């Protein structure tokens, strides 16, 4: 039996302390904070380096171990139904809150007076993102290309295809599957090693954010930032909380279980930084490897609850700030376009802002120049987007596993009663740390 680690040795405490210190340095010594950016960038690069192989190995070994290949299509169908429904709910929530709170009302901004230089760069990137191009890009040019470029959807496509092929081969493929399972253990151990550097990455990234943009940029548009954060909290606690309750667990227990990963996402403003760790923890909680491998990486492109809330809320904020009247029909059109454009920009750096630019380019009623209003505070809102997206994908994984009646109930109950857990199949006492 393992004893609980002292508080200072817990990963989430280290990350929290790093964020606090980074924020102080960014505020009181902004030039130093900006100079620390490479620490955050280096950590995210470390994680991105192993995301593709982790996803590939998890999916291939999970599917290859399935006896019923029809369940792959069934799980994918249920996952996409979940993604579509709750992505729409997130868009509607953002739309309703924007109409009720009206965070941009009374600003009376003339779009012609705004500096759109930086916005134009995002708009150009947005024009390069089309639904057809997005779908075609899922198929890699070569097998190696999917891993070289780090395109998660390409890796997902190849992994599912290869997993199905190995499963159809049968017993002759067992040596290959055994080799891949051994490699999987090695890569997850590598994840644990890299996670020890998480406090350094969070320290550098948060120091840069505060040093570069400062707290003043938040204060200037505090109404929008506060509205977005409160709306996202409402979505997680109420909407996802109800979903979690019906799935047999508490959203607050889930948040405690993922506290280290959530703090890492907060510090780095990137949900990808915690993707490998999320997959590992979902397996430790009793979700089957095959479902984790399908739902988590797919959700990172198709289940962006936080991004969807941001898009409709920000779009209406710009309309209100520039005194642009929108009819109900125009708002519904905006919602429909946002649903499609959010898929077209999936996996692109700065996806939230680019997706908003793509949406406003298609719905010209809202002036694209108005995006200059929120450019300075987008970084602060990206943290909330990433946290909401991350939580939504964790909930989706458990829900789909429940729908499939595939959860290891003993492990699931142990984790959510805050007992310690070890490798799959081994439950060993009080709660362990995430690393």
What CATH code is carried by the domain that includes residue 278? 1.10.3860.10
**Within a domain: 211:** yes
Whether 1 is covered by a domain: the verdict is: no
Q: pLDDT in tens for each of the 435 residues of the chain?
A: 445 667 767 777 888 888 889 889 988 998 998 899 898 888 878 887 888 888 888 888 877 766 666 677 788 889 889 998 998 999 999 999 999 988 878 777 776 665 555 555 555 555 555 556 666 777 888 888 878 876 777 888 888 888 888 888 877 888 888 898 888 888 888 888 888 888 898 888 888 878 877 766 566 577 888 899 999 999 999 999 999 999 989 999 999 999 888 988 888 777 777 888 898 899 888 998 888 888 888 887 778 888 889 888 988 988 888 888 888 888 888 888 777 666 644 444 456 676 777 677 666 778 777 777 776 677 778 888 889 999 999 999 999 999 988 888 888 888 876 544 444 434 333 333 333
The pLDDT assigned to 129 comes to 55
Q: Return all residues near 434 (Cβ < 8 A) that are at least 6 apart.
A: 11, 12, 195, 258, 259, 260, 261, 277, 281
Residue 6 lies in a domain: no
Whole-number pLDDT of residue 35: 92
Residue 403 is predicted with a pLDDT of 92
Domain extent at residue 65: 15-419
- Say what the pLDDT of residue 92 is: 93
Instruction: Identify whether 5 is part of a domain.
Output: no
SS3 readout for the chain:
CCCCCCHHHCHHHHHHHHHHHHHHHHHHCHHHHHHCHHHHHHHHHHHHHHHHHHHHHHHHHHHHCCCCCHHHHHHHHHHHHHHHHHHHHHHHHHHHHHHHHCCCCCCCCCHHHCCCHHHHHHHHHHHCCCHHHHHHHCCCCCHHHHHHHCCHHHHHHHHHHHHHHHHHHHHHHHHHHHHHHHHHHHHHHHHHHHHCCHHHHHHHHHHHHHHHHCCHHHHHCHHHHHHHHHHHHHHHHHHHHHHHHHCCCCHHHHHHHCHHHHHHHHHHCCHHHHHHHHHHHHHHCCCCHHHHHHHHHHHHHHCCHHHHHHHHHHHHHHHHHCCCCCCHHHHHHHHHHHHHHHHHCCCCCCHHHHHHHHHHHHCCCCCHHHHHHCHHHHHHHHHHHHHHHHHHHHHHHHHHHHHCCCCCHHHHHHHHCCEEECCCCCEEEECCCCC
Q: Report yes or no on 427 lying in a domain.
A: no
Supply the pLDDT for residue 429: 36
As for how many domains the chain has, the answer is 1
pLDDT of residue 426: 40
In a domain, 425, yes or no: no
Q: Is residue 3 in some structural domain?
A: no
Query: Is 219 within the bounds of a domain?
Result: yes
Q: What is the pTM of this model?
A: 0.75
Instruction: Identify the pLDDT of residue 95.
Output: 92
């Amino acid at each position: 039996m393992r004893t609980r680690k002292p508080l200072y040795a817990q990963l989430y405490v280290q990350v929290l302390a790093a964020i606090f210190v980074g924020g102080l340095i960014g505020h009181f010594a902004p030039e130093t904070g900006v100079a620390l950016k490479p620490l955050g960038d280096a950590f995210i690069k470390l994680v991105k380096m192993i995301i593709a192989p982790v996803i590939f190995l998890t999916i291939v070994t999970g599917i290859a171990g399935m006896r019923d290949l029809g369940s792959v299509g069934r799980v994918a169908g249920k996952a996409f139904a979940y993604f579509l429904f709750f992505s729409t709910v997130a868009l509607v929530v953002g739309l309703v809150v924007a109409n009720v709170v009206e965070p941009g009302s009374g600003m009376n901004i003339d779009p012609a007076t705004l500096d759109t230089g930086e916005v134009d760069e995002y708009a150009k990137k947005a024009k390069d993102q089309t639904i057809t191009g997005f779908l075609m890009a899922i198929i890699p040019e070569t097998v190696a290309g999917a891993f070289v470029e780090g395109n998660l959807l390409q890796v997902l496509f190849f992994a599912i295809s290869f997993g199905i092929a190995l499963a159809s081969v049968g017993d002759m493929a067992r040596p290959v599957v055994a080799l891949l399972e051994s490699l999987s253990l090695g890569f997850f151990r590598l994840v644990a090693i890299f996670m020890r550097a998480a406090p350094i990455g969070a320290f550098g990234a948060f120091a840069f954010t505060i040093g570069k943009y400062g707290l003043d940029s938040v204060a200037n548009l505090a109404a929008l930032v506060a509205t977005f954060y409160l709306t996202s909290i409402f979505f997680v606690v109420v909407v996802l909380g109800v979903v979690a309750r019906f799935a047999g667990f508490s959203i607050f227990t889930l948040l405690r279980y993922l506290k280290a990963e959530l703090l890492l996402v907060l510090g780095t403003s990137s949900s990808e930084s915690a993707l490998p760790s999320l997959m590992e923890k979902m397996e430790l909680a009793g979700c089957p490897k095959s479902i984790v491998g399908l739902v988590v990486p797919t959700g990172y492109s198709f289940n962006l609850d936080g991004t969807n809330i941001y898009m409709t809320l920000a779009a209406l904020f710009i309309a209100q700030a520039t005194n642009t009247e929108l009819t109900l029909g125009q708002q519904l059109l905006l919602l429909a376009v946002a649903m499609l454009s959010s898929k077209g920009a999936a996996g692109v750096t700065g996806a939230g802002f680019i997706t908003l630019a793509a949406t406003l380019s298609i719905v010209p009623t809202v002036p694209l120049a108005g995006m200059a209003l929120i450019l300075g505070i987008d970084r602060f809102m990206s943290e909330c987007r990433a946290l909401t997206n991350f939580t939504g994908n964790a909930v989706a994984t458990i829900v789909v596993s429940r729908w499939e009646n595939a959860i290891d109930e003993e492990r699931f109950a142990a984790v959510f009663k805050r007992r310690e857990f070890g490798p799959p199949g081994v439950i060993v006492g009080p709660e362990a740390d995430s690393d």
